[in-house]
Amino acid sequence: MTESNRYIPYALPLIGEEEIQAVTEVLRSDWITTGPKTKQFEADFAHFVDAPHAVALNSCTAALHLALLAAGVGPGDEVITTPLTFCATVNTILHVGATPVLADVDPVTLCLSPEAAAAKITPRTKAIIPVHYAGHPAEMDAFLALAQEHGLAIIEDAAHAVGTSYRGRKVGSIGDYTAFSFYATKNLTTAEGGMLTTPHAEAADRIRVMGLHGISRDAWKRYTAAGSWYYEVQEAGFKYNMTDMAAALGLAQMARFDAMQQVRRCYADRYNQAFAGLSALELPPGADEAKGDVHAWHLYVIRLNPEALTIDRDAFLDALKEEGVGTSVHFIPITHHPFYQRTLGVSPTDTPVATAAYSRMLSLPLYPKMTPDDVSEVIRRTTSLLERHRR
Ligand SMILES: Cc1ncc(COP(=O)(O)O)c(C=O)c1O
Q: List, by residue number, the catalytic residues.
A: 186
- Dist. CA 346 → ligand 1 center (Å): 21
Rounded-to-integer distance, Cα 139 and Cα 106, Å: 10
- What's residue 228's pLDDT? 77
DSSP label at 83?
S
Q: Is the CB of 131 under 6 A from ligand 1?
A: yes
Alpha-carbon distances, residue 361 vs 101, 107, 218, 312 (angstroms): 23, 12, 45, 10
Residue count of the chain: 391
Q: How confident is the model at residue 217 (pLDDT cuts 50, 70, 90)?
A: low
- Dist. CA 376 → ligand 1 center (Å): 29
DSSP label at 112?
B
Probe ligand 1: pick from 86, 112, 189, max atoms within 8 Å of CB? 86
- Rounded to the nearest 5 percent, the helix, strand and coil shares of the chain are 40, 15, 40
Probe ligand 1: pick from 10, 57, 59, 60, max atoms within 8 Å of CB? 60
Q: Which ligand 1 atom lies nearest to the CA of residue 131?
A: 1
Tell me how crowded residue 94 is: count the other CB atoms within 10 A of its CB: 16
- Dist. CA 117 → ligand 1 center (Å): 21
Cα 85 to the chain's mean position, in Å?
9
Q: Which helix (H) or strand (E) holds 141?
A: helix 140-150
- Is there a contact between 81 and 90 (Cβ–Cβ < 8 Å)? yes
Probe ligand 1: pick from 57, 181, 363, max atoms within 8 Å of CB? 181
**Which tens digits make up the pLDDT trace of 304-330?**
999 999 999 999 999 999 999 999 999
Rounded-to-integer distance, Cα 93 and Cα 83, Å: 13
Rounded-to-integer distance, Cα 232 and Cα 227, Å: 14
- What's residue 372's pLDDT? 98
- Dist. CA 72 → ligand 1 center (Å): 22
Rounded (5°) CA angle 299-105-309: 65
Collapsing DSSP to helix, strand or coil, 282 comes out as strand
Rounded-to-integer distance, Cα 157 and Cα 86, Å: 10
Tell me how crowded residue 244 is: count the other CB atoms within 10 A of its CB: 25
Closest of 375, 383, 134 to residue 280, by C-alpha: 383
Strand ranges (E), the chain: 53-57, 78-81, 99-102, 125-129, 153-158, 165-166, 169-170, 177-181, 194-198, 281-282, 300-304, 361-364
Rounded-to-integer distance, Cα 345 and Cα 337, Å: 11
Are β-strands 53-57 and 194-198 bridged in parallel, bridged antiparallel, or unpaired? antiparallel
The pLDDT of residue 79 is above 90: yes
What average pLDDT does this structure show over 15-20? Answer: 98
**Which tens digits make up the pLDDT trace of 258-285?**
999 999 999 999 999 999 989 999 999 9
Q: Is the CB of 88 under 6 A from ligand 1?
A: yes
**Which tens digits make up the pLDDT trace of 344-384?**
999 999 999 999 999 999 999 999 999 999 999 999 999 99
- What's residue 268's pLDDT? 98
- Is there a contact between 160 and 179 (Cβ–Cβ < 8 Å)? no
Rounded (5°) CA angle 248-253-254: 95
What average pLDDT does this structure show over 167-190? Answer: 98
- What's residue 222's pLDDT? 64
Collapsing DSSP to helix, strand or coil, 116 comes out as helix
Write the single-letter amino acid at 15: I
Cα 62 to the chain's mean position, in Å?
13
Q: Is the CB of 156 under 6 A from ligand 1?
A: no
